[in-house]
Structure 1
Amino acid sequence: MVIMSLIILSYSVKQPASVGFFRKLVLETAAPLANIISTSFRGIDEAWKRYIFLIGIEDENRRLRQENASLTQEMVHHREGFLEGIRLQKLLTLKEKVDYPTIVARVIGRDQTSIVKTILIDKGTSHGLKVNLPVIADRGVVGRIVETSSHVSKILLLIDENSNIDALVQENRIQGILQGAASRGCSLKYVSKTETVSPGNIVISSGLSGIFPKGLLIGAVTNVDKTGSGLFQKIDVAPYVDFARLEEVIIVKSDMADKK
């Protein structure tokens, strides 16, 4: 009916004015229908344009998300480089304070179970490393080499129960043996109950072990207990090094290791 009305409307427009009443009737009937059709087509056209617009927005959003992910990754990469530079600068500063040749190595593996506390580094005999060389970080003693191959070495950490280092309390020069105590950090053993050691005292290497040069930072006393039986007090020491976050270390090529 809509099409018929349009045909009639088109036909009536071409006829002379004498058609009169019939033409007016057609106009009255067809005009609303033509308006409905025109409005419908406008709606379809606007809906299509809006669809195309939304597709464009989605494509742009996808592109922006990809660009944002790329920029975020780039920022993380640059920040990692920046933080690594800070860590290496601290190690280089420490190297200048050590009287022996040193080499920087990266941590490539770790075994810190309840029994064994060790890490692996990416340097070995081909870099001049050998068993018993001391290993340090910017905050203090890490441990010593216990196994080595051409390009990999295993480090026994300071906190392993098999680790023993001759140490002394910096403030009053009281000496003892620092032994690893796993989750408790370390214990300074064989210190007489007649000696005065206080929480907060700094513990350093004494240089008597034949492995670690004298004066390397180890940790701080956290607890002192003289109530137990026996001649010696119980002294807990918290290492300065955060072993769980070690990424780079310094191996000290001390000739003291040759004496072991």
Structure 2
Amino acid sequence: MQLLRFLGSILCKGHGLVLFLILLLVGISIRHLEKDGKETLIAGALSSIYYPAQLVVSSVNRIHSVTYENDSLKRENARLKLERDNLREGLEEANRLRELVHFDNVWEYPIVTARVIGQNPGRFLTTFVVNRGTDHGIEVDLPVFTTQGLVGRISAVSRSHSKVQLLPDPSLHVSILVQRTRVVGFLNGGSANTLQAFVPSYTGVREGDTLVTSGLGGIYPKGIGVGIVRSLEKGDLDVVTNIEVAPFQKFTRLEEVFIMQKRPDWIVQEMLKNAEVH
């Protein structure tokens, strides 16, 4: 009974003393154990003490390993995505060039394939630059087109580059032919989405008619597609009808074009110039 009271008073004095007594009892018990028992007890105690630290270290290593593996997977995924995009872009370019090569056989003139490498920075898209020049046989006034239709003409040339004047440019005038009625008119600029043209009135032109190059004027060969008649409006003069044309060409999306090595018909151009003078 007195021993219980003594232990109770010790417990009331503080946790430090209690811990000391517990450790003292453990030490006495260890002294009376056999060698194997001591080693087992000490090993178990040390394992209990170091286990939280080992757990933290193991968790840190595991997180580091997962992070490294995740970064590696991200890099590999980015590499594979880049390769996939390059292959897809190469396939699309190959398909476009295959169409161009097939289209090359339609005309009697040599064809040069060129890549668009720059556009004018203005509000309206009227010119762009291609990567072909005099070193590739390119000259001013050669027609430029794609399998979709007419693009414009070469307006300036250097050794390795050329500037292309596009159909939306108001200063570019192209003689056109209404395919159904065979009526001749003129294209007179516009925008990337809508071109402006005029034809003689009372010739039966209507919405949905297809317009192609007429072959007149000495630059463009006959039969290159230009666009579809979107709407008609009577002009200031009764003899002229103004036309809004939906172009076949998507001027803002062009990547490769044809340059036809067809020199301008000198006789036709001279006759036109003389007609203008007189």
Answer yes or no: same fold by TM over 0.5.
yes
Partner of 1:218: 226
Corresponding letter in the other structure for 2:32: Q
Aligned to 1:22: none
What amino acid does structure 1 have at the position aligned with 2:155?
V
CA contact (8 A) 1:112 1:118 kept: no
Cα 1:207–1:35 change in 2 (3 A) is same
Q: Which moved more, 1:113-122 or 1:65-74?
A: 113-122
Deviates more, 1:43-52 or 1:81-90: 43-52
1:34-53 Cα deviation digits (max 9, x unpaired): 99975453233223212211
Counterparts in 2 of 1:4 and 1:230: CA distance versus 1, 3 Å: farther
TM-superposed deviation, 1:11: 4.1
- Equivalents in 1 of 2:24, 2:74: separation in Å? 54
For the 8 Å contact 1:143–1:155, the answer to whether it is kept is: yes
Structure 1 alignment gaps of length 5 or more: 18-30
Question: Contact 2:169–2:190 at 8 Å: present in 1 too?
Answer: yes
Equivalent residue in structure 2 for 1:98, among 97, 107, 121: 107
Q: Which of 94, 103, 116 is matched with 1:85 structurally?
A: 94
SS in 2 for 1:47: helix
Cα distance change on mapping 1:257 and 1:68 into 2, 3 Å? farther
Q: Secondary structure at the residue paired with 2:182? A: coil
Q: Deviations over 1:156-175 (max 9, x none)?
A: 10111011111111111111
Structural mapping, 1:11-90, within 5 Å:
11-15=28-32, 39-90=48-99
Q: CA deviation at 1:113?
A: 2.4
Give the direction of change, closer, same or farther, for the CA distance of 1:211–1:156 in structure 2 (3 Å limit). same
**Secondary structure of residue in 1 paired with 2:120:** strand
Larger radius of gyration: 2
Q: Following the alignment from structure 1 to structure 2, what is the Cα–Cα distance between the partners of residues 223 and 235?
A: 6
The 3 A distance-change label for structure 1 pair 116 and 78 is closer
Query: Secondary structure of 1:9's partner?
Result: helix
CA contact 1:135–1:251 (8 Å) conserved in 2:
yes
SS at 1:45 equivalent: helix
Rate the CA distance shift 1:193–1:117 in 2: closer, same or farther, 3 A. same
Conserved? CA contact 1:114–1:182, under 8 Å: no
Q: Distance in 1 between matches of 2:154 and 2:33?
A: 113
Which runs of no fewer than 5 residues in structure 2 stay unpaired? Answer: 1-15, 35-40, 270-278
TM-score (norm 2): 0.79
**After the TM superposition, which residues 1-260 of structure 1 pair with which residues of structure 2 at under 5 Å, given as runs?**
5-6=22-23, 9-15=26-32, 39-111=48-120, 113-114=122-123, 117-183=126-192, 185-189=194-198, 191-226=199-234, 229-259=237-267, 260=269
Q: Aligned residues: percent identity?
A: 32
Give how far 1:3 is off.
7.9
Change (3 A) 1:250 1:193: same
Helix, strand or coil at the partner of 2:64: helix
Once the two structures are superposed, what CA deviation does each residue of 1:69-120 show, in whole Å capped at 9, x if it has no partner? 1111111111111111111111112111112111111111111624661111
Q: CA RMSD in A?
A: 2.7
Secondary structure in structure 2 of the residue aligned to 1:168 = strand
After TM superposition, give the deviation of residue 188 of structure 1 in Å.
2.0
Question: How far, CA to CA, are the matches of 2:228 and 2:33 in structure 1?
Answer: 113
CA distance in 2, matches of 1:90, 1:136: 13
AA partner of residue 13 (structure 1): I
C-alpha spacing 1:114/1:50, structure 2 compared with 1 (3 Å): closer
Q: How many aligned positions are there?
A: 244
Q: Which amino acid aligns with 2:206?
A: S
In the alignment, is the contact (CA less than 8 A) between 2:181 and 2:203 conserved in 1? Answer: no
